[in-house]
Structure 1
């Protein structure tokens, strides 16, 4: 458990960084803080002293304590600019390639990179944003956390905007914000995956969908669009959804889902390659032959799809190019360039593997 003075420090700091307490605004009095936190005057003063030393507060004798903006001062920092990068993950899946693209572009103009990850957790995103605001980054590239849900950290993004710190988003965006973004066309990705299966004769096609991220919402949309165009019926029982909180249960849930649909489904569109390979592993346990009994398509063309024991049929993702383009946008914004794009979509391309089989359409 955190000491009480640290709780006060964290709360006041959050209020300053999110813009709840504005620069030069008076914070609640010592006695008010005592009552709010049920602590001694000594504890309150210890918190205020530490915040003053960090440049967040300044005390005026006989008047009170006020918000200071000294914490934003760059006087003690290197002269070269720093770009903050916040992604959901750093070392997993396609993220090393995206970060490599960002870093290579920043290096060309001698920019520093400050990296943080959220593990797709709202509380960790809040900490990452507070760190970036405290440090005083010159620009920011963010992959949103749980982008298909309401985000309580919107105030921090508005604080960056008020401070005229340019930021762009990758892979997804918060629909509440008008923000430049760089995204795969996720609707088209899942649409092409489903169309490929239909072209190979499949009519009973399911989907494994992740529903707390915007990518999952749009990939579901592409799947439904392709079924509709082919006059194929959408079956809710052919959908297995999961989110970040239930991802650890995916293997067990897949087992039940595949057993329940063993006589129905002939193909699956997967949220991404990671899920596609999990389907492959579960099918091995259940002795379901891929692609003879079940065809599987992943998405994102990740390194795990390329290095697996079976070559997964998948679709491309821009990865390193997306990272470069987002970094280039932030650099050009800081250089004062005008008419920069507000949205960039990358078109996916199907990559054939070993996990899709053409089937004979049974005569009606």
Structure 2
């Protein structure tokens, strides 16, 4: 549990960064804040002191405490070049190093700095990343959304960027609540193609494994259902296995159960991505299910783990580095006033 003073610090910082308290505005008095947060005067003063040290507040003797712009000067003034913030769900795993490499290459061409943060697909960590980007005063932002298929409590931060006319673009997914430019795969089409490929090879009992707290999972399931419908194959809910960020740790165990229950039924599986596809391969080996003789598998993304695996996994291509490059290119052109 956070200390009481830290709760106040986080709340006031949030209100300043989202514009609820604007620069130059007086914040509530110490006595009012005591009642607001149900804390002692000492705790309130400790919070104000910390925010003053960070440049968020300034106190005027006999007058009160006001929102300062020093936090912008402290952070933003240190950069020689324009700075682009990049927030991804992960940094060092899967396809993300390639995406970041593409962003970095394009930014370097125009002498832009890169400020990087990751969320681990957690909305609280996304909030901290957005607060950091606001306090640093980034000139633009590239974001991979967190849990994009669920309501996001951080929408106000994105609206603040819009109000401050800081351009941002989303990659891999987007928040449906926001009107925002994005670079994404056609996820419906990718799973449609994967399922259609299996159908063309004679499969009629095709399972699907997907991550359902991200928008990609929702759209990839839509493509799977579309292909089944065109082939006049019935969608069977028991042949679908879903998971989320939180339940991913149980995926191996749940795959064992899923494959055992459908062992005599399924002949093929469309997977959310290569990571899931290779996990299916591992479980099949444990259950003595031969691939592709008894079970065919298709992944997504053509990731480095698929390329380096000891089995040749059928997969669909993701233009990882190109997507990063194009997102950065869009942002640079926007900042330069180009169409």
TM-score, normalising length from structure 2?
0.97
Shift of 1:62: 3.5
Matching of residue 22 in structure 1 with residue 22 in structure 2: yes
CA distance in 1, matches of 2:46, 2:284: 59
Report what 2:336 is aligned to.
335
Report what 1:321 is aligned to.
322
Report what 2:56 is aligned to.
56
Shift of 1:164: 1.1
Report what 1:31 is aligned to.
31
The SS at the match of 1:240 is: strand
Shift of 1:28: 1.9
Once the two structures are superposed, what CA deviation does each residue of 1:83-129 show, in whole Å capped at 9, x if it has no partner? Answer: 11000000100000000000000010011111110000000000111
- Determine if contact 1:19/1:156 at 8 Å carries over to the other structure: no
Deviating above 6 A after TM superposition, structure 1's stretches of 4 or more consecutive aligned residues are: none
Matching of residue 274 in structure 1 with residue 275 in structure 2: yes
CA distance in 2, matches of 1:4, 1:313: 53
Shift of 1:39: 2.7
CA distance in 1, matches of 2:20, 2:241: 41
Q: In structure 1, list runs of 5 or more residues that go unmatched.
A: 339-364
Report what 2:203 is aligned to.
202
The SS at the match of 2:157 is: helix
Aligned residue pair count:
338
Report what 2:84 is aligned to.
83
The SS at the match of 1:262 is: coil
CA distance in 1, matches of 2:47, 2:300: 49
Moved more, 192-201 or 44-53: 44-53
Shift of 1:56: 1.1
CA distance in 1, matches of 2:90, 2:299: 19
CA distance in 1, matches of 2:292, 2:18: 51
The SS at the match of 1:244 is: coil
- Determine if contact 2:298/2:314 at 8 Å carries over to the other structure: yes
Shift of 1:33: 1.4
Moved more, 324-333 or 42-51: 42-51
- Determine if contact 1:205/1:265 at 8 Å carries over to the other structure: yes
Alignment of 1:68-107 (within 5 A): 68-73=68-73, 76-107=77-108
- Determine if contact 1:19/1:155 at 8 Å carries over to the other structure: no
CA distance in 1, matches of 2:176, 2:4: 37
What is the RMSD of the two structures over their aligned residues, measured on CA atoms? 1.3
Shift of 1:75: 6.5
- Determine if contact 2:76/2:136 at 8 Å carries over to the other structure: no
Alignment of 1:90-239 (within 5 A): 90-239=91-240
Report what 2:291 is aligned to.
290
CA distance in 1, matches of 2:240, 2:19: 42
CA distance in 2, matches of 1:2, 1:253: 35
Matching of residue 248 in structure 1 with residue 249 in structure 2: yes
Shift of 1:64: 2.5
Once the two structures are superposed, what CA deviation does each residue of 1:238-270 show, in whole Å capped at 9, x if it has no partner? Answer: 100111010000000010000000111100000
Report what 1:4 is aligned to.
4
TM-score, normalising length from structure 1?
0.90
Once the two structures are superposed, what CA deviation does each residue of 1:250-304 show, in whole Å capped at 9, x if it has no partner? Answer: 0000100000001111000000000000000000000000100000000000000
Q: In structure 2, list runs of 5 or more residues that go unmatched.
A: none
- Determine if contact 1:101/1:322 at 8 Å carries over to the other structure: yes
- Determine if contact 2:76/2:137 at 8 Å carries over to the other structure: no
